Copies of this chain bind each other. A is one copy, B any other.
Amino acid sequence: MIDPRTASGLRDLGPSVAVPRERLTTTFRAVFASFGFTPIETPHIERMDVLTGKGAGSDEVLRQIFEVVNKGGERGELALRFDLTVPLARFISKHIDELGVPFKRYAIGSVFRGERPAKGRFREFVQCDFDILGTESAFADAETAHVIHDSLAAAGIPEFTISINNRKILDGFLESIAAGGRSAAVLRSLDKLAKIGSEGVRDELTGRRRRKEIDSADDSADEQAAKPRIDDLTSDKNEQAFTESRSELAEEPPLNLDQADRLLDFVEAGKGRYDALDYLAAIVKDFPTAVAGIENLRTILNLLDSVGVPERRVRVDSALARGLDYYTGVVFETTVNGWERFGSVSSGGRYDNLAGLFTSRRIPGVGASIGLDRLTALMDEAGLLKHQANAGGVLVVQFPGVDARVSASIAARLRRIGIAAEVYPDPIAMGKQLGYGSARGRAFAVIVGPDEAAKGTFNLRDLGTRKERRDLPLDRLEDEAIAAIGVTK
């Protein structure tokens, strides 16, 4: 006998999870399509050089890649995708002439990372990505937040907060305090604000605390919901910047104490909505880069207000650092109110040049990703999945001695009017059949006994209350089932 377990870090999803997951992806597809996004599909297997760039991928990612080897093939040629953004970059580079821009695509699929197995961390997880390629308009930035909003609202998340920031604001602010060019190091520290507090960030930025101690406390749990660090992963330029920021730190701290204090005041006060933007604008008004970043966020707030996204759900957060090191404009993170410890369930942002590895054409874009596994885990723990897993519909019982065709044809009629109808496959004891129906989450049972079959009447039993409406002729049965189950067809 072979042990029927999954491989390490992988898992089976039974109906209680798979049913609500499927409803979620159906919901997301519908929302994405309603905004004009169309689906594309790319293979799960990519060429290794596509995924790792010109030998430039970071150690972290290369360590996590699952190689794929064809029988008789060599190692190092193929691998499983670790996100949907690198494949998108490859796809658009190859197909841009036939597709044209703007191009709005969504993709929902599994990605693979060989992370150390841990609770809530899986080696295969599903990302729901949508991106608008070929435009630099703030309209597209706002639409990205709008799609995040409508997707989570449609998924039944009661309250959530989309935090927005723009890399240009921090860049301009650092110029204003004579610390231009230190963004990479500053971002790395700011990213830990929630974890180590402003004291810790100040100590780290000013060299009073060694980065390494703090890094070791860091974990990358947020990776699975965050948009991939595409530039960080694959571009020479950013790999270089990453290395530089490391060595820079080793040599001298990025900020002095005064600069660090001003930075922390700036990001602390830069939270809210238009008020926060006004505050930030007053400080950096002479630095055009920062002003442009602030105006971008103002336009986004304006547009989201105009389409009825509730104010409370979109907030400027100038301390939001994650992603700023690889996105080039706006960034998004989304937390569910009261469940912030789960991290961001949808993240994204704008990139100037998505496909620089594959084409000399500059393709700007903006997009976000919903982390299905994290969202499902959160909804499960928040009790938001329970009723969704309920199958509904009816069980049609097979009564011993009654021709199976009676049950089969009733079920077929019910299906035709839009009611899911399952027939128990064997005419076993009725109690067992009803127990099966309850266990499977059916709402009602249609009971056909020999007398009923002869008279052409049926009983409709509520599997919750166990009440029965008896002796219904077929038309009445249909009407009652429609009324009880609430089919709109």
Q: List residues of A whose CB falls within 8 A of some B CB.
A: 1-7, 10-15, 17-19, 21-22, 26, 29, 33-36, 38-47, 49-50, 53-54, 62-73, 75, 77-78, 80, 89-91, 93-95, 98-100, 102, 104-105, 110, 112, 114, 123-124, 132, 135, 137, 139-140, 142-143, 146, 150, 302-303, 306-308, 355, 357-360, 391, 393, 395, 398, 404-405, 408-409, 411-412, 415, 419-426, 436, 439-440, 442
Main secondary structure of the interface of A (DSSP, over half): mixed
CA distance A430 to B403 in the complex (A): 66
A39, A70, A104: which has the most chain B beta carbons within 10 Å?
A: A70
- B4 & A93 in contact (Cβ 8 Å cutoff): yes
Collect the chain B residues with CB atoms within 8 Å of residue A423's CB: 36, 139, 143
Residue in B closest to A10 when the chains form the complex, CB atoms? B43
CA distance A39 to B150 in the complex (A): 25
- A2 & B91 in contact (Cβ 8 Å cutoff): no
Known: A6-B43, A22-B29. A1 touches B357 (CB 8 A): yes
- B68 & A67 in contact (Cβ 8 Å cutoff): yes
The distance from the CB of A347 to the nearest CB of chain B, in whole angstroms, is 21
Tell me the number of copies of this protein. 2
Known: A18-B38, A22-B39, A63-B71. 8 other contacts (CB 8 A): A13-B41, A14-B95, A18-B41, A44-B80, A69-B69, A75-B75, A102-B424, A102-B425
- B68 & A36 in contact (Cβ 8 Å cutoff): no
Collect the chain B residues with CB atoms within 8 Å of residue A99's CB: 14-15
Known: A6-B43, A358-B2. A12 touches B95 (CB 8 A): yes
Known: A94-B5, A139-B404, A426-B137. A439 touches B41 (CB 8 A): no
- A132 & B306 in contact (Cβ 8 Å cutoff): no
Collect the chain B residues with CB atoms within 8 Å of residue A1's CB: 357-360
- B307 & A412 in contact (Cβ 8 Å cutoff): yes
